[in-house]
Chains A and B, each alone.
Chain A
Amino acid sequence: EDQVTQSPEALRLQEGESSSLNCSYTVSGLRGLFWYRQDPGKGPEFLFTLYSAGEEKEKERLKATLTKKESFLHITAPKPEDSATYLCAVRGGTSYGKLTFGQGTILTVHP
C-alpha cells in the first residue's frame, strides 16, 4: 500500500526565512509525486509533478526536489502570502490513477 508522511506538521517562519518541507514516501512503481497548496476553504491547487529521482521543478519562491524515498519543497525568502497547507501525494503503478496524500504541512509566514 502506498504511504506518504509529511514533516513537520506545522512550520512557522519569519518573512525572508528560508526553509524546507519534507515528504517521505513508499510506493510500488512511482508514477508521479505531486505537490499541492491548499488555502483555507479552498480545494488543493496543483504546484508540481516530479517523476524520477534527481528531478527538480521551480516556481517563484518554491523548488521541489525528488529522491528515491523523499521529496523536499524548498521555500526561499517566503512572504506572508505563501502561508497555506502544503500537501504531498504519490501515484503508484498499480493505483489506477488515485493519489495517496500525506497529512500536509501547515506553513505560516509572519511579516
Chain B
Amino acid sequence: DTAVSQTPKYLVTQMGNDKSIKCEQNLGHDTMYWYKQDSKKFLKIMFSYNNKELIINETVPNRFSPKSPDKAHLNLHINSLELGDSAVYFCASSQDSMTMGAFFGQGTRLTVV
C-alpha cells in the first residue's frame, strides 16, 4: 500500500493554464505538506496543514492555493502557470508536526511550456 500518493506523476501544460495536483495519505497522520524541489534538487516548503488548518504559508505566490478537504488529503491548485513554476512538487505527511520525520510522496514533475 502506498503511504503518500500524488497524482499525476507528470504534468506538462502551457503557460497561463490552471492545474491541480492531488495528494492522499493513508498513514493517519495529522499534518501534511507541500514542498517544491527546483532544478538544483533543493527542497523548500510551501505549505503545511495540521488537521485541515493551514499552519505554514511560506512566501509563495498567491497563484498557488492549497486545499485540505480532510486530514488525509491535501491538494494544490495553481492558477496562471508560469515557466518558473516548472519543478517537482512533493507532498508529505507526518504524525506529529513538531517531532517526527515526514514521509514523502513520489513527486509530481510539472513542466510549463
Chain A residues within CB distance 8 Å of chain B = 31-32, 34, 36, 38, 41-46, 49, 85, 87, 89, 91, 96-101, 103-104
CB <8 Å contact, B40 and A31: no
CB <8 Å contact, A101 and B42: yes
Which residues of A lie under 8 Å from residue B42 when comparing CB positions? 101, 103-104
CB distance from B52 to the nearest CB of A (A): 15
Chain B residues within CB distance 8 Å of chain A = 4, 31, 33, 40-45, 48, 50, 55-56, 58, 90, 92, 94, 97-107
For the complex, give the distance between the alpha carbons of A38 and B104 in Å: 10
Which residues of B lie under 8 Å from residue A44 when comparing CB positions? 43, 90, 104
Which residues of A lie under 8 Å from residue B48 when comparing CB positions? 96-98
CB <8 Å contact, B101 and A87: no
For the complex, give the distance between the alpha carbons of A91 and B40 in Å: 22
For the complex, give the distance between the alpha carbons of A31 and B100 in Å: 9
For the complex, give the distance between the alpha carbons of A34 and B104 in Å: 13
For the complex, give the distance between the alpha carbons of A63 and B97 in Å: 25
CB <8 Å contact, B101 and A34: yes
CB <8 Å contact, B43 and A87: yes
CB <8 Å contact, A91 and B98: yes
- Taking each of A32, A42, A89, A99, which has the highest tally of chain B beta carbons within 10 Å of its own beta carbon? A99
